[in-house]
Amino acid sequence: MSKIIPVSKNDYIDVVFEDLTHDGAGVAKVDGYPLFVPNGLPGEKAKVKVIKTGKGYGFGRLIELYEKSPNRVDIASSESHKYGGCQLEHISYEGQLKYKENQVRQVLTRIGKLEDVIVHPILGMDEPWHYRNKAQVPVGEKDGKLIAGFFKPRSHEIVETNESLIQLPEINEAVQAVKEICTKLGIPSYNEEKHTGVLRHIMARYGLKSGELMVVIVTRTADLPQKNQLVEELVTRLPKVKSIVHNVNNKRTNVILGDKTKVLWGAEVIYDYIGDVKFAISALSFYQVNPVQTKVLYDKALEYAGLSGEESVIDAYCGIGTISLFLAQRAKKVFGVEVVSEAIDDAKRNAELNGLTNAEFTAGEAEVVIPKWYMDGNAADVLVVDPPRKGCDEALLNTIIEMKPKKVVYVSCNPATLARDLRILEDGGYKAVEVQPVDMFPHTTHVECISQLVLKM
Ligand SMILES: C[S@@+](CC[C@H](N)C(=O)[O-])C[C@H]1O[C@@H](n2cnc3c(N)ncnc32)[C@H](O)[C@@H]1O
């Protein structure tokens, strides 16, 4: 017999929120039926409007708060809360950290059945604002002026945003400068519907330690009108700029950057440091967006790897070699694997830049390359994985279990797939000893974790 749903669409009901979902919505229960309501916080009493009902759960909209949680804070920037990915901005930073830590604990128990793994208190930021070293904002037009900001969810309407509270000030300044100068020079924005116009996105990157700024202007057209004037004004207005790049993307696509990149002024790359390791960052390379917390994360990776200088290390999913080179300072040899071949070129260049001759990089899928290495008789003492959100491929996990490195360090941006993979490794002979959550993305629902596993005797 099917269960009766206790509420109907458009009902107004009073609820008490009990929990938060993994994407930050409040959870209220009506006769056991869960209702997900964005902006509701545990302990709060509120009036909500039911906007959708499904078999197992429904969705509501917050109409009125009767009792506020002590963790609720005034939203400093409602635009970024609504559209800019800052889903937790209405929760005090302390409350956000608690929420993320709980979420990691719950998922490890529920999905991974890992009852005795030590989960440390989350490492948060002392200053959790203005941390992002990169922005890529879409450009549109309103009342004859260029606007840049966020897309409204599930729409392509741009909401003008003049300052993002999670981006570094240099990034905000750069975006504003490009927008205002392009408006003055009459450079038209891209029209997505008609696939006409010029300016699609403004991208800015900043090296926090080096103080070097890169501006990337993404256009539909191969030609950038008034480019000399634009460059001249940008250089005058942005004293930290070291590189101005033009990227052409003439496809009808949601992908931001196209394949063609041309340096308009200055250098092809900017540099930045994590600890003492120097990295060259080009317009197209992946680089962690929170440099302060990246150092915290990589220090943990080094601690968990426990290197004495004699170990052979494999860094699967190595990107531009950031973790590999950090570990190469203390290992005998590091072998990095990454599927994007341009990132491998960057990793090789970065090894040279730092005079690290004990790091070797290979382009390919980790689940293909590492099993082959093992079949050829090569094994590692320590294996580091830092996969995308979907977690590690099963073939890679099976190879780890057969290869038996003494330690595995698992870096993860998705606690659910981390829990799943830790369970597989535990069943395969490893002990997940400890998990350290790190807040790399304050005010968003994302949480990074690093875990140490040791081979059971
Ligand atoms: C979360 S990032 C980590 C990058 C790097 N460790 C860092 O901290 O900058 C994951 C990386 O895995 C790469 N990747 C995705 N699937 C892969 C696969 N099957 N084999 C190897 N690398 C892969 C992505 O291109 C990306 O660079």
CA–CA distance, 333 with 357 (Å, rounded to integer): 9
Task: Give, in order, the Cα–Cα distances in Å from 292 to each of 20, 311, 312, 438.
Answer: 27, 28, 28, 11
Span 66-88, mean pLDDT? 77
Nearest to 412 by CA among 402, 399, 425: 425
On the question of pLDDT at 360 being above 80, the answer is: yes
In terms of domains, do 425 and 331 share one? yes
What digits encode the pLDDT tens for the residues 427-452?
Answer: 999 999 999 999 999 999 999 999 99
Pick the closest to residue 413 from 107, 110, 19, 38 (CA basis).
107
Tokens describing residue 163: 């300052």
**Could you tell me if 42 and 187 lie in one domain?**
no
Residue range of the domain that includes 392: 98-126+290-455
DSSP, res 364: S
Contact partners, residue 185, CB within 8 Å, separation at least 6: 225, 226, 229, 230
| One domain for residues 317 and 209 | no
The answer to whether residues 313 and 438 belong to one domain is: yes
Residue 18: is it exposed, middle or buried by C-beta count within 10 angstroms (0-12/13-18/19+)?
A: middle
Same domain, 415 and 431: yes
Q: Are 427 and 388 in contact (CB under 8 A)?
A: no
Which residues share a beta bridge with 243? 214, 266
Asked whether residue 414 is domain-assigned, the answer is yes
Task: Judge whether 230 lies within some domain.
Answer: yes
Which tens digit of pLDDT belongs to each residue from 159-216?
Answer: 888 888 899 999 999 999 999 999 999 999 999 889 999 999 999 999 999 999 999 9
Confidence of residue 77 (pLDDT cuts 50, 70, 90): low
Sequence length of the chain is 457
Cβ–ligand 1 contact at 322 (below 6 Å): yes
For residue 159, what are the β-bridge partners?
150
340 Cβ closer than 6 Å to some ligand 1 atom: yes
Residue 91 forms part of a structural domain: no
Lowest mean pLDDT among 15-19, 98-102, 152-156, 191-195: 152-156
Percentages (nearest 5) of helix, strand, coil residues in the chain: 25, 35, 40
Q: Is 70 exposed, middle or buried (0-12, 13-18, 19+ CB in 10 A)?
A: exposed
Number of the ligand 1 atom closest to the C-alpha atom of 324: 6
CB of 295 closer than 8 Å to CB of 274: yes
Share of the chain above pLDDT 90, in %: 84
Structure-token pair, residue 385: 């994985």
Half-sphere exposure of 228 (CA within 13 A, CB side): 0
Do strands 145-151 and 158-160 pair parallel, antiparallel, or not at all (unpaired)? antiparallel
Q: Coil, strand, or helix at residue 370?
A: helix
Q: What is the spatial distance between Cα 340 and Cα 282, in angstroms, rounded to a whole number?
A: 14
Q: Name the token pair of 321.
A: 């070699």
The percent of residues above 70 in pLDDT, for the chain, comes to 98
- pLDDT at position 75 is 73
Alpha-helix residue ranges (DSSP H) falling in 380-435:
394-403, 415-427
Kindly report which listed range (142-156, 228-242, 245-259, 429-443) carries the lowest average pLDDT score.
Answer: 142-156
Question: Which CATH number belongs to the domain containing residue 376 in this structure?
Answer: 3.40.50.150
**Ligand 1, from 288, 322, 338, 411: best to mutate by most atoms within 8 Å of Cβ?**
338
Is the beta carbon of 388 within 6 A of some atom in ligand 1?
yes
CATH of the domain at 29: 2.40.50.140
Q: Do residue 261 and residue 121 come from a single domain? A: no
pLDDT recorded at residue 83: 64
386 lines ligand 1 (CB under 6 A): yes
Are 440 and 298 members of one domain? yes
Residue nearest to atom 1 of ligand 1 (CA): 388
- Report H helices in 62-205: 78-82, 93-110, 169-185
Distance CA(387)–CA(418), nearest Å, equals 10
Q: What is the set of active-site residues?
A: 413
Question: Is residue 405 one of the residues assigned to a domain?
Answer: yes
Q: What is the pLDDT of residue 157?
A: 83
Sign (positive or negative) of CA dihedral 382, 387, 392, 393: negative
Whether 419 maps to a domain, the answer reads: yes
Residues 121 and 138 in one domain: no
Task: Provide the phi-psi class of 43: left if phi over 0, else alpha when psi is between -120 and 50, else beta.
Answer: left
Ligand 1 atom nearest 366 alpha carbon: 20
- Local confidence band at 158 (pLDDT 50, 70, 90 cut-offs): confident
149 vs 322 pLDDT, higher one: 322
Instruction: Measure the CA–CA gap between 109 and 118, rounded to whole angstroms.
Output: 11
Confirm or reject: Cβ of 58 under 6 Å from ligand 1. no
Beta bridge partner(s), residue 374:
none
Domain count along the chain: 3
Q: What CATH number should be reported for the domain holding residue 238?
A: 2.40.50.1070
Closest of 390, 404, 376, 259 to residue 317, by C-alpha: 390
What is the average pLDDT across 249-255? 93
CA dist 206 → 182, 239, 269, 320 (Å): 21, 12, 11, 17
pLDDT for position 11: 96
Distance separating alpha carbons of residues 330 and 306, to the nearest angstrom: 9
Looking at the structure, do residues 166 and 106 belong to the same domain, yes or no?
no
28 and 52 assigned to the same domain: yes
Q: Whose Cα sits closest to atom 4 in ligand 1?
A: 319
β-pairing verdict for 269-274 and 359-363: unpaired
Token readout for 154 is 């599930």
Mean pLDDT score, 150-154: 79
pLDDT of residue 76: 57
354 alpha carbon to ligand 1 midpoint, in Å?
21
Residues 146 and 263 grouped into a single domain: yes
3-state secondary structure (DSSP) of residue 237? helix
Helix (H) or strand (E) holding 323: helix 322-328
User: Is the pLDDT reported for residue 395 higher than 80?
Assistant: yes
Instruction: Indicate if ligand 1 lies below 6 Å from the C-beta of 286.
Output: yes
Distance CA 309, CA 278 (A): 21
What span, in angstroms and rounded, lies between the C-alpha atoms of 62 and 302?
45
DSSP 385: E
Same domain membership, residue 169 and residue 22: no
Between CA 49 and CA 54 the distance in angstroms is 15
Within a domain: 79:
no
